[in-house]
Amino acid sequence: MRAVDLIAAKRSGLRHTAREVTWLVTEFTAGRIPDYQMAAWLMAVCSQGLDDPELGALTTAMVASGEFVDLSAVGPWVADKHSTGGVGDKVSLVLGPVVAACGLPFAKMSGRGLGHTGTDLDVAEFERTVGSAGMAIIGQTPSLVPADKQLYALRDATATVEQEALIAASIMSKKIAGGSTCIVLDVKVGEGAFTPDLEAGERLARLMLELGRTHNRSVRCVLSRMDEPLGLAVGNALEVREAMKLLAGDGPPDVREVAFTLAGHLLQMSGLVSTLEAGRVAAAGALDSGEAQAACRRWIAAQGGDPTVVDGRGLPDAPIVTPVVSVGAGVVQTIRARGIAQACLLLGAGRATKTDVIDPAVGVTLTVRRGDSVSPGDILAHVHARTTDTAAVAVTRVGDAIVLGEEPVRAEALILAELDEGGSRL
Ligand code: URA
């Protein structure tokens, strides 16, 4: 087999056999297919797509590229969660401690975006930590789904992330190898998400539910709106700080709502509660009683971190904090998530190329939300920067992303749809 033939076949809209897909993944992961050929194949997939058997083969080959986590000793139910990627999405840092405090172990392998958090446990330590501390979150180790790690880095740098089948395979390969038995997927829908509308979101959700079914995992999908950033903070340390505030009972209500909705599903799927509403109530109870915060301290200590992070200590601060000041008056019509994300990217909070190093201190904190009235001179946000140059550019970008208008704005639902294991709406 030759990669160039498979690229040409896919470019022409032909279907691969399972053997061909497996070969491609295996050879690429072993370093025998160069990045440029794999990038070309990924681009061909972006224009021609993958059918269900190709997607199944891709996911299975990705899972088989590395080790599996074995959490069977922890108990019959271990929870995991994944988001298809939203701006300011720090929900896992709240959800994990909340469900762990409710008695449901939480084991999550995060994607590349969270790699900076220093979550370098190996698989054996991960398994032990879930058992002893009730939760663990690790970055992708080289041994777990190495195919996704390599593919995702390439996709990130070649504008090939936003393809439904590639997203489904990427997410589900990690979830299947990650060893958890009940999984909730937060499919983001909107301007700041990979899936722009509910229809596209449901299509992605159904692809992932099907992959879950074929691998015997209990999987549900929540579709949530991602037009504006989630919460007020975007950027690594800034988001951790916001999540910790939430665990202390003082965070933004939108993050809380998504976290409680996801928790409700996980607690119901594992049989700890019988209804979704009871799950939400249990989650709120764990947060309000301080038990979730205590679970978070146990988790951080178990992974060798400093548990005083829970109190907002020990996180890096950017040296330059510049306000974004409103020039006009009006009502905030929207805060474009993509614009805020782009500002954060140029500040150094994300990667533009696969080798870029993330600056954990930089980012944006909003001081207004959609629907707020503002006057000239009001502070709309703060830019947290490493240099005055990046601060100046980011201030303009953030200002452009916060759209003012005359009209009052209507409240929009944050949770758009919830799909059960069989794909039915709940
Ligand atoms: N999150 C992932 O883990 N993979 C994708 O491809 C997109 C979002």
Q: What is the pLDDT of residue 138?
A: 86
Query: Taking the CA of residue 139 as centre, how many other CA atoms within 13 Å lie in the half-sphere pointing to its CB?
Result: 12
Between the CA of 155 and the centroid of ligand 1 the distance, in Å, is 10
351 as an active site residue: the answer is: no
pTM, rounded to two decimals: 0.93
Q: Which tokens hold the place of 288?
A: 């309000």
Q: Residues of the chain with pLDDT > 90: what percent?
A: 89
Sheet of strand 402-405: strand arrangement: 373-374, 330-335, 402-405
155 as an active site residue: the answer is: yes
pLDDT tops 80 at residue 8: yes
- Residues 284-299: tens digit of each pLDDT: 999 999 999 999 999 9
Between the CA of 313 and the centroid of ligand 1 the distance, in Å, is 30
Q: What is the pLDDT of residue 120?
A: 64
Q: What is the pLDDT of residue 301?
A: 95
Q: What is the pLDDT of residue 141?
A: 77
Q: Are residues 165 and 54 in contact, defined by beta-carbon separation less than 8 angstroms?
A: yes
174 as an active site residue: the answer is: yes
pLDDT tops 60 at residue 119: no
- Across 240-253, average pLDDT: 96
Q: What is the pLDDT of residue 116?
A: 34
Q: What's the pLDDT band for 111 if we cut at 50, 70, 90?
A: low
Nearest atom, ligand 1, residue 111 CA: 3
Q: Is the C-beta atom of 111 inside 6 A of ligand 1?
A: yes
Q: What is the pLDDT of residue 33?
A: 98
Q: Exposure pattern of 206-229 as b/e (b: 16+ CB <10 Å)?
A: bbbbbbbeebebbbbbbbbbbbbb
Q: Is the C-beta atom of 235 inside 6 A of ligand 1?
A: no
Q: Is the C-beta atom of 85 inside 6 A of ligand 1?
A: yes
Alpha carbon of residue 321 to chain centroid: 26
Task: Determine which one of 16, 83, 90, 148 is catalytic.
Answer: 148
- Across 222-248, average pLDDT: 97
- Residue closest via CA to ligand 1's atom 1 equals 84
pLDDT tops 90 at residue 123: no
